[in-house]
Amino acid sequence: MYTTGITRWLLIILLMALSSTGLHAQQCVGGQVLDGSSGYPLPGASIAVNPGQGVIAGRNGQFNLCGLQGDSVSISFSYIGYKTVRITFRVGSSNILVTMQPETSEIETFVVTATRTDSRIVNTPVRINQLGPKLITSLPVQSIDEVLKVATGINYSRPFGILSTKATVTMRGMSGKEQGRVLILVDGIPMNKSDGGGFDWNMLDAAMVRRIEVTKGAGSAIYGGNAMGGIINIITRKPEAPLFVNAGLEYGTYNTIGGKFVAGGNFKIKKPGDQWTWMANTFYRQSDGYVTQSEADVKSNPYIVNSDLRETGAGFRTAYSIGGKHTIGASLNYYNDNRGTGEKVHQPRGNTTDHDSYGVNLNYRGQLGKYSILSAAYFLNEDYRKVNEYLKDDYTWYDVLSTRRDYGWLTSITRPLGDQHKVTGGFDFRNGSVDAWDKYYTSTDIVYNAGKMNTLSFFLQDEIGLLQEKVRILAGLRYDVAGFHDGSFYIETPSQETEFMDIYQDKAMPTHIRSALSPRISAHYRWNSSNRVYLGYSRGFRPAVLDDMCRSGRIKGGFKIASPDLKPEYLSNFEAGTDFKPFRSGILRLLTMEASAYYSLGTDFQYYVTNGQTIDMGFGERPIFIRANISEVEIYGAEFSANYEIVPSVTMFAGYAYASAKILDYTKIAENDTIDLFGKTMTDVPANIVTAGVSWQNRILNAGLTFRYTGAMFINDQNTWDELVQSDQYPAYSTVDLKFWRPVFRYCHVSLGIQNLFDVKIYDSKYNVGPGRFITAGFEVKF
Amino acid sequence: MNRFNCINNSVLQGPGRTLWLFLFFIFVVGLNSCRKEEEINRTAIILKTGVAYTSSGEIVSPGGKINIGVLASGAGTALTYLRIERIIGQDTSVQLDRGIYAGNEGYDEDFSFPKGLAESEIWRVLVMNADRDTATASLLVRKGEGVDYGPIHHYGPIEVGMQNNASTTCFLDLANGAIYDAVTVSGNESAIDLVPYFYYTSGLPSPSLTCPGYTSTVGYYPIISNWTVKNTTLFDYYTSDNQLVTPSQFDAALNDSLLVTAYNPSKVSGNCKYAYAGRVIPFKTCQGKYGMIKVIQADENEEGSILLEIKIQQ
């Protein structure tokens, strides 16, 4: 009985406790608020039943809203940049996952480039342009860099379309001749080669790209070298289904035939939170091409033939996620091309360029307590071969062979400090090298050049949020120290072909160490979800490239000698801008506008200048040039863009950019140098760029139409008359691109792309001509 | 999700298909990585013998001709380079440095050079094939008594039209001082050594002398593209640009002594720019004759002409 009594009392107490808990639970709703596209938590989201009755989501997006009455409750979730949603829940529900969708369908709400962390775009006080999958789909692009030509203020060059051996994408007054002043990242891995600063845009398959982030202005405070004019981060696709396969064929102008294949998937492992993903792709393309040379060249050279193309690539990437907190990934990419450059005398394919490239990347991304860790090791190798043959007095045939290697280890660690700070620190180690030789077959010469550059960097950054995130400050500082070593330039068994270079041989170039300190401070004030003003200062630098430091050889208009003492060039950038939404409601509610203005001062800019001497390379005296830090430049400009998503299926955009880039000071290195570059405008920088486009997706036929106007650009450093172009500037030109596409049957898509609809002829400095109108028809199967 | 999106998870699921896809990509990557080992073919050379050719140890007076006949083979790989050097003691001077392309047929060509003043000269011929394998052959030539400078022809003044000159003929036979127009040149193409043209280069007006064998000449004279024989005349632009021979020296030349010594074989081209009045341009024809051109007057437009005086070995 006694036992029975105690048991009864215990049962009563337990029931009362349970009843009490139950009563309490019934008055609350709890869960987590997540970003619908990325799955990231949304700390700071507002959760409210009525005005004045609500809570703010915690650091991990979690919330618990209590004091509710009744069986169900309608709760409103709102957050800057997201569509407000109201959902009805049963009171007492817990562990609810609420996903919020961005206000516009195109914009990713999290970006990684500006801060090297997963940061909300609205919280990042810099100018960022995003080119998302919807836009990419609507463009008739042959190469992924062509997507960027519709972005506001992008200075874009791909003179021969798919046949181009190189393309350049720059911004903010940086010359379109060189890629080295804008940093290119692929999934955060720096791709600019130490040898020339460039990036082989051809090696990326557009089908593998999910989106592109363009961060304007100097970004060396977090990324170091090359991030002078801005940063372009290409984010590749991730597997979003357990298994998918895309396969496509295309056919186009100049008998261009291509095929691509992408497959991937993800597998849930039995252990909760574990997942294995993989993705693989391959592509092939060939084109008969066309004659790129001028009519005068064709008349005077019977060996001119079509420039043509053969290229193939493949890639594989995989990642294993452990418990949702740690992800280890690896990727392997391979690319090979062979591009005929339009002259053939005796060699089977004539003059060609050939890239044999591969890259390996291992990365780790994890969460250890409050610390988020990103670490990646990469190795990039490019074996480049350029066959040169021509017949003038006699036959000349030589190969340029170059092995360019870049590898490195990048690590950053982020942790929040209190509610207002997110601190990121880290280090990068990079090594770049070139081992190159010109191997002559019509003489005995072999001309070698080699060099290496090691760079070690440390950085620290704080992302500060104040006044309930209305004020955001981004402050950072990075220190890079680089050592140049093993530089050499020498000739083996010289003949008359290269004996003029004899005195410039140097088998042991002096080693040296250079350093750069790159600060950034920028802030914005956002007074509501769509409007902000921002202000910033940042410094960027571009390291000297190995090709300038180690190699002597012919260049257009003369001969250049190696410049092993070359220093980095620097750019200090001041910037202000605003984002605004002129209409809060109505049909123009989703019209957004952005405006920025910048003023940059460059010091130690690298230019080719004459050393006052001349050299006879076999056709008379020519000036000797050397790359030197000789000038100060002043660059300023403004950008304005507007995006209007009428409905999710119809999007319009327009942009205008003005840039002025002038040389403020010119320090001659030779007394007899008669050139004065003071006040001259930098070459290959259009003063005006206009872009516009519209995309309409519907059940019958999807369509994308884009327009680009590229203003006139000076041709040479001295802004003088050019005999070939018959002007001192390349003329301005406009192009219109058009694409139609639609699904057919259950698994298929067809598309028709027309680039340069009105067949505008665009010429380069040698008066070589671009491809004109280029039409591509595509067929794709997706499972 | 778009209703037309073709992703169908049920169709291709399973580790077996995944493995196949993975193996396919490994295969593609591996296929592209294959490379063949390089083989090197050996080059061979002999110098021709006989009465027409100078034999090793032969005595030749200064100014006399050294005749060298070259027979070479790349043994299955194209021959791509020929160099002929004159070696006097420790001093080596390159007399001919030429890129060539001779396939399975091999290389067969004769050359002649003037004997210098040295007591003995070694003439070395080097050929190389596309595998960069080289072979050499040499002959020793001793100095003979006296001198053997030869007689010359003196032509001029001869007016030759630029590329767009409708009234003056353009095609010049240097050996005979004969000039042809687009009609009369028919049947005489193999005799043409010089054509002039005018253009701007490096911002400067340039009356220029070129030859049918220089590739870009067809841009100014399209008719040449149909010629089966296109002679290459090598002009010594260095001596011309630096005015190392004066018009009075040209006028004083009575034999080929100056003609052969003024010609610097290391600075020659089939195209000679800046042929301004007063310049003297040494040259060597495709047939091995040395000569000099004195520019008397040169128009600076495409419709003009150039007035030349020529001295050439007989």
Sorted by where each begins, the domain ranges of chain B are 44-143, 152-313
Task: Say how far residue A553 (Cα) sits from the centre of its chain.
Answer: 31
Type of residue found at A628: A
| Structure tokens given for A471 | 């004020």
Q: Angle CA(B90)–CA(B94)–CA(B98) in degrees, nearest 5?
A: 150
pLDDT of residue B1: 32
B-chain residue closest to A347, CA distance? B101
To the nearest whole angstrom, how far is the Cα of B127 from the nearest Cα of chain A?
Answer: 9
Q: Measuring CA to CA, how many Å separate B287 from each of A608, B175, B192?
A: 43, 9, 11
A-chain residue closest to B205, CA distance? A723
Secondary structure class of A4 (helix, strand, coil) = helix
Angstrom distance (rounded) from CA B212 to CA B218: 8
pLDDT of residue B35: 47
Using CB atoms, which residue from A265, A312, A619 is nearest to B18? A265
Q: Among residues 54-93 of chain B, which lie with CB inside 8 Å of chain A?
A: 78, 80-81, 83
For every residue of A565-595, DSSP letters joined together read TPPPEEEEEEEEEEEE-S-SSSTTTTEEEEE
Contact present, A110 and A117 (Cβ < 8 Å): no
Using CB atoms, which residue from B80, B200, B232 is nearest to A441? B80
Type of residue found at A276: W
Q: Which residues of B touch A303 (CB under 8 A)?
A: 215
Angstrom distance (rounded) from CA B126 to CA B72: 10
Type of residue found at A390: Y
Angstrom distance (rounded) from CA A338 to CA A317: 25
A299 touches chain B (CB under 8 A): yes
A-chain residue closest to B6, CA distance? A747
pLDDT of residue A89: 86
Secondary structure class of A511 (helix, strand, coil) = coil
pLDDT of residue A98: 86
A726 touches chain B (CB under 8 A): no
What structural domains does chain A harbor?
A: 24-100 (2.60.40.1120), 110-232 (2.170.130.10), 233-289+309-505+518-782 (2.40.170.20)
Contact B215 A300 (CB under 8 A): yes
Contact B215 A303 (CB under 8 A): yes
Using CB atoms, which residue from A297, A393, A781 is nearest to B270? A393
Q: What is the largest CA-CA distance in chain B?
A: 101
Cβ-Cβ contacts under 8 Å between A and B: the total is 158
Type of residue found at B9: N
Q: Among residues 239-298 of chain A, which lie with CB inside 8 Å of chain B?
A: 241-245, 263, 265, 278, 280-282, 296-297
Using CB atoms, which residue from B12, B215, B218 is nearest to A245? B12
Contact B99 A345 (CB under 8 A): no
Residue A222, φ and ψ in degrees, nearest 5: -120, -25
Residue A420, φ and ψ in degrees, nearest 5: -110, -10
> B185: how many CB neighbours lie within 10 A of its CB?
22
Contact A314 B83 (CB under 8 A): no
| Structure tokens given for B254 | 């009575």
Contact present, A502 and A496 (Cβ < 8 Å): no
Helices and strands (DSSP H and E) totals, chain A? 5, 42
Q: Measuring CA to CA, how many Å separate A477 from each of A229, A461, A613, A620?
A: 17, 6, 42, 51
Q: Which residues of B touch A299 (CB under 8 A)?
A: 218-219, 222
Contact present, B99 and A397 (Cβ < 8 Å): yes
A763 touches chain B (CB under 8 A): no
B-chain residue closest to A244, CA distance? B7
Please list, in sequence order, all residues whose beta carbon lies within 8 angstroms of the beta carbon of residue A567, skipping any fewer than 6 positions away. Answer: A514, A544, A604, A629
E strands of A218-325, at which residues? Answer: 230-236, 244-252, 256-268, 275-290, 307-322
Q: Among residues 171-200 of chain B, which lie with CB inside 8 Å of chain A?
A: 200
Mutation site for A-interface testing, chosen from B1, B2, B3, B8 by largest number of A Cβ within 10 Å: B8
Contact A393 B213 (CB under 8 A): yes
pLDDT of residue B45: 95
A-chain residue closest to B101, CA distance? A395
Contact present, B234 and B271 (Cβ < 8 Å): no
Mutation site for A-interface testing, chosen from B19, B29, B134, B206 by largest number of A Cβ within 10 Å: B29
Please list, in sequence order, all residues whose beta carbon lies within 8 angstroms of the beta carbon of residue A87, skipping any fewer than 6 positions away. Answer: A74, A75, A77, A98
pLDDT along chain B (314 residues), means of 10: 34 48 49 54 91 94 93 92 95 93 92 92 96 95 91 92 88 93 91 93 88 90 90 92 92 91 89 93 93 94 94 93
A-chain residue closest to B221, CA distance? A300
Give the β-pairing of B79-88 and B91-102.
antiparallel
Residue with tokens 């379309």: A161
pLDDT of residue B7: 33
| Structure tokens given for B29 | 């990557």
Whether omega for the bond prior to residue A623 falls within 30 degrees of 0, making it cis, is no
B268 touches chain A (CB under 8 A): yes
**Kind and range of the H or E element at B116?**
none
Type of residue found at A531: N
Q: Measuring CA to CA, how many Å separate B70 from each of A444, B84, B108, B265?
A: 19, 10, 6, 19
Contact present, B25 and A280 (Cβ < 8 Å): yes
Q: Angle CA(B217)–CA(B223)–CA(B227) in degrees, nearest 5?
A: 90
- Nearest residue to A150 via CA among A710, A770, A758: A710
Contact A443 B81 (CB under 8 A): yes
Type of residue found at A666: Y
pLDDT of residue A667: 82
Q: Which residues of A touch B130 (CB under 8 A)?
A: 397, 441
pLDDT of residue B9: 38
Using CB atoms, which residue from A336, A619, A783 is nearest to B7? A783
Please list, in sequence order, all residues whose beta carbon lies within 8 angstroms of the beta carbon of residue A321, skipping any fewer than 6 positions away. Answer: A273, A274, A275, A276, A277, A327
> A131: how many CB neighbours lie within 10 A of its CB?
23
Please list, in sequence order, all residues whose beta carbon lies within 8 angstroms of the beta carbon of residue A130, skipping any fewer than 6 positions away. Answer: A106, A107, A108, A111, A121, A211, A212, A213, A214
Mutation site for B-interface testing, chosen from A281, A389, A392 by largest number of B Cβ within 10 Å: A392
Type of residue found at B262: A
Q: Give pLDDT tens digits for B151-171.
A: 999 998 999 999 999 887 889
- CA trace torsion A198, A231, A107, A531 (10° rounding): -150
A-chain residue closest to B10, CA distance? A243
- CA trace torsion A545, A547, A551, A552 (10° rounding): -90
- Nearest residue to A687 via CA among A659, A666, A706: A659
pLDDT of residue A393: 82
* Residues in chain A where the model's pLDDT stays below 50: 1-4, 10, 12-25, 105
Secondary structure class of A562 (helix, strand, coil) = coil
Contact present, A106 and A652 (Cβ < 8 Å): no
User: B92: buried, middle or exposed (CB in 10 Å: 19+, 13-18, 0-12)?
Assistant: exposed
Please list, in sequence order, all residues whose beta carbon lies within 8 angstroms of the beta carbon of residue A302, skipping any fewer than 6 positions away. Answer: B215, B218, B225
Contact present, A526 and A532 (Cβ < 8 Å): yes
Contact present, B45 and B137 (Cβ < 8 Å): yes
Q: Measuring CA to CA, how many Å separate A402 from each of A312, A436, B132?
A: 20, 4, 19
Using CB atoms, which residue from A314, A616, A720 is nearest to B28? A314
Residue with tokens 């692009």: A141
**Kind and range of the H or E element at B296?**
strand B290-298
pLDDT of residue A2: 45
> B291: how many CB neighbours lie within 10 A of its CB?
25
- Provide the phi-psi class of B295: left if phi over 0, else alpha when psi is between -120 and 50, else beta: beta
B223 touches chain A (CB under 8 A): no
| Structure tokens given for B61 | 């007076």
Q: Give pLDDT tens digits for A464-514.
A: 989 888 899 999 999 999 999 999 999 999 988 888 888 999 999 999 999
Q: Give the architecture-level CATH label for domain B44-143.
A: Sandwich (2.60)
pLDDT of residue B13: 46
